[in-house]
Amino acid sequence: MSSPVLAVENLSVSFGANHVLRSVSFDLENSEILGVIGPNGAGKTVLLNILTGILKPSSGCIHFLGEDVTHKTITERCHLGFGRTFQVPRSFEGMTVFENVIVGAVYGGGVSEKIGRRRAIEILEMIGLADKAQWFAHKLSLIDRKRLEMGRALATDPKVLFFDEVAGGLTESEVEKMLAIVRTIKQQGISIVWIEHVLQTMREGTDRILCLAEGRVVKSGVFEEVIGSKEILECYLGADEEC
């Protein structure tokens, strides 16, 4: 069996007396989509911030393709192959869609502008924004802003992507469009860690999910096994054993 793309071991973080993550461990395999669910305050976004280098853990380690990246910077992780989206899209509002993706390729992916332009054309086709390449980012609808956020992350040529609620606020038909993009990304051999509250995406778009509650992994496995478990009823849905 091949080594995991990402290996997270006993990751913990505290802010003063507040223990936000408590010994979180999991592996991410090649081309796997791992969904992360949990109630508000469970530590999901903090986990993503630690994995991508925005925050430093109090203890534990992160290995990427066998290399310890626990203390590497955001930029170093990006150059190694980490890509990230944010819950609130962070596009450059005064630039066109095309320019936004080129910036991701050149400054995040470290390629020449010529290669960046070629990469941007391919990515915009894939995410369904080719017809809006010359639109300014501030004119985009919510779904297109989220598509552009994904495109900017893809432009860095990542080996693993970290998605933070890319389906949040979208209609059911728009969620289906996002799922189609995610499936295409998976076909390219890219692994994904995906935080999401929209359970449709976790059911239809993941290979496996894990549930965080109070900073701990309380359950992991395929969607059907996890979502119907006693642990989810008690920790995620706030129900008691008799529900």
What CATH number is associated with residue 12? 3.40.50.300
Question: Does 150 share its domain with 125?
Answer: yes
Rounded to whole angstroms, the Cα distance separating 154 from 123 reads 7
> What are the tokens at 150?
């994904």
Question: Does 167 share its domain with 68?
Answer: yes
pLDDT digits (tens, 9 = 90+) for 38-60: 888 889 999 999 999 999 999 99
pTM for this one?
Answer: 0.91
Rounded to whole angstroms, the Cα distance separating 119 from 113 reads 10
Q: Check pLDDT > 60 for residue 235.
A: yes
Q: What is the residue range of 208's domain?
A: 1-81+158-243
> What are the tokens at 148?
């552009």
Question: Does 153 share its domain with 174?
Answer: no
Q: What is the pLDDT of residue 194?
A: 97
Average pLDDT over residues 199-219: 92
Q: Are 34 and 209 in contact (CB under 8 A)?
A: yes
Long-range contacts of range 100-105, CB-CB < 8 Å, 24 or more positions apart? 100/137, 100/148, 100/151, 100/152, 101/148, 101/151, 101/152, 101/155, 102/155, 103/152, 103/155, 104/151, 104/152, 104/153, 104/154, 104/155, 104/156, 105/155, 105/156, 105/157
Q: Check pLDDT > 70 for residue 225.
A: yes
Question: Does 198 share its domain with 109?
Answer: no
Average pLDDT over residues 202-213: 94
Q: What is the pLDDT of residue 16?
A: 83
> What are the tokens at 131?
């017809």
